[in-house]
Chain A
């Protein structure tokens, strides 16, 4: 598969994503500078973490107006897979590709630690390889990761099965103590209604090799690869 990994001024997880896709999973991945107005031939886009534009104004607020985001918008409208990680999730929310917003952590602290996650549904191109009872261990590193949406939006997210991951305890329970940032309903990641755009605050690319202590993050990338391999046009080819 061909992945494009976006690079904004201030992105800092771009090379980690490239490493996992290329060297761990054996796929083709290239960096795409934010000033590019075309994605070229790609199967999926990853919007990586970091501090695009220094988080000025709001996280992701300025990056969403980069030329490359117009191309991502078109790609997503045609059903292309887009995954936003951390700052990438914030950018996708700011751009309106995902509902809601990420606001300051309730503790007001930057949280850099491991979290446990449970996958709410396998019915998405980002979760199809993850068992319902699997408790994944993924690191977070953010100051603005508290997921917020108004009541109607939250109700619609739940009704349409768009919550993909929740913060849970080591035993798999979505407790208050397991929620590192105050996110509504312990939400760690969501997808759009069409299920081809997703975002999450934890970093799967930092936990995709046993040498790093945990390889659970691979499951998310492997789900995307599985979905792309089994898409109708790929089967036909």
Chain B
């Protein structure tokens, strides 16, 4: 099994990287580009087959270390 985790800055948090990418996209000619948010993607390989247990464990780990919930949101899937 594998956990695929996506971490993004919270909406209220300043995201200068996203803003810079947005400006760059407009600068090189892409139209209709709205707000850009730059986050992180993590893949974690998991041993065993206990899907529900893995989900619980990854959720806890995301909360404790993989993201900082003051500034970031996370979501993940187990596959």
| A interface size (C-beta, 8 A) | 21
Which residue of B is nearest A150, CB measured? B12
Q: Which of A123-155 contact B (CB under 8 A)?
A: 146, 148-151
Whether the pair A108, B17 counts as a contact (CB closer than 8 A) is: yes
Which residue of A is nearest B13, CB measured? A148
Contacts of B12 in A (CB 8 A): 150-151
Whether the pair B68, A104 counts as a contact (CB closer than 8 A) is: no
Whether the pair B16, A107 counts as a contact (CB closer than 8 A) is: yes
Q: Which of B9, B14, B66 lies in contact with A106, CB distance below 8 A?
A: B14
Is B70 among interface residues, defined by CB-CB distance under 8 A?
yes
Label chain A's interface by main secondary structure: loop
Q: Which of B17, B65, B68 lies in contact with A101, CB distance below 8 A?
A: B68
Contacts of B65 in A (CB 8 A): 57, 61-62, 65
Is B57 among interface residues, defined by CB-CB distance under 8 A?
no
- Residue-wise interface mask of B (1-39) relative to A, using a CB-CB cutoff of 8 A (1 in contact, 0 not): 000000001001110110010000000000000000000
Interface on A for B, CB 8 Å cutoff?
Answer: 57-58, 61-62, 65, 93-94, 100-101, 103-108, 146, 148-151, 182
Interface on B for A, CB 8 Å cutoff?
Answer: 9, 12-14, 16-17, 20, 65-66, 68, 70-71
| 4 nearest A-B residue pairs (beta carbon) | A101-B70, A101-B71, A106-B16, A108-B16
